Chain A
Amino acid sequence: MEFFKIICPGKGNVFIDGIFQGESMDGTDPKIFQCNTGVHDISMDCLDGKICGEPAQRIRIEHTNPIFPMEVIFTCV
Chain B
Amino acid sequence: MCLTLRFKIVLWAVLTLTGCSHYAVNPALKNIDPSSGYRYGVVRPMPSPDKPFVILAFSGGGTRAAAFSYGLLKELKTIEYTTREGKKRQLLDDVEIISSVSGGSFTSAYYTLFPDRFFDEFPKQVLHRNIEKDLIGLLFRPQNWFRLASKDFSRIDLAEEYYNETLFQGKTFGDLVSKPKGNTPFLVLNATDISITHRFEFTQDQFDLLCSDLSTVSIAKGVAASSNFPVAFAPLTLNNYHQKGCGPLPGWIDPALSLSANPDRRYFDALAAMSYRDKEREFCHLLDGGLSDNLGLRGPFDAVTTTDSAWSILKQANLKKLKTLMIIAVNAKTTKHHDWDKKSDPPGIKAVLGVVTGGPMDDVSLDSVDMTDNHFSYMKQLSDTVDACNTVLHEKCPEATPVKNPIGTNFSFSELSFERVKDPCVRRYLQELPTSLALDAEAVELLIVTAAQLLNQSEDFIKGMQALDPNWKPRTITLPEHLVKDICKRP
Contact = CB atoms under 8 A, between A and B. Distances in A.
Interface string B252-265: 10111010011100
A35 interface: yes
Contact of A22 (B262, B266, B320): B320
B256 to A, nearest CB: 6
B263 A37 contact: yes
Given A36-B306, A38-B262, A69-B406, A1 B379 contact: yes
B290 to A, nearest CB: 25
B318 A21 contact: yes
Q: How large is the interface on A (under 10, 10 to 19, 20 to 34, 35 or more residues)?
A: 20 to 34
Contacts of A39: 255-256, 258, 261-262
Given A1-B378, A38-B262, A67-B403, A19 B312 contact: yes
A33 B404 CA distance: 12
A interface SS class: strand
Contacts of B318: 16, 21-22, 33-34
Contact of A21 (B252, B256, B258, B315): B315
B382 A17 contact: no
B308 A36 contact: yes
Interface in A32-77: 32-41, 58, 60, 65-67, 69
Interface residues of B, number: 34
B274 to A, nearest CB: 15
Contacts, number: 90
A16 B256 CA distance: 12
Contacts of A3: 406
A17 B405 contact: no
Given A1-B382, A19-B312, A41-B255, A66 B405 contact: yes
Most buried by A among B263, B308, B389, B406: B406
A38 B256 contact: yes
B250 interface: yes
A19 B251 contact: yes
B386 interface: yes
Nearest to B379: A1
B206 interface: no
Interface in A1-22: 1, 3, 16-22
B307 interface: yes
A38 B266 contact: yes
Q: Which 7 A/B pairs are nearest by Cβ-Cβ distance?
A: A18-B251, A32-B406, A38-B262, A17-B251, A36-B306, A17-B252, A39-B255
Given A29-B404, A66-B385, 13 more contacts: A1-B378, A17-B307, A33-B318, A34-B317, A34-B406, A35-B306, A36-B307, A38-B261, A39-B255, A40-B255, A67-B385, A67-B389, A67-B403
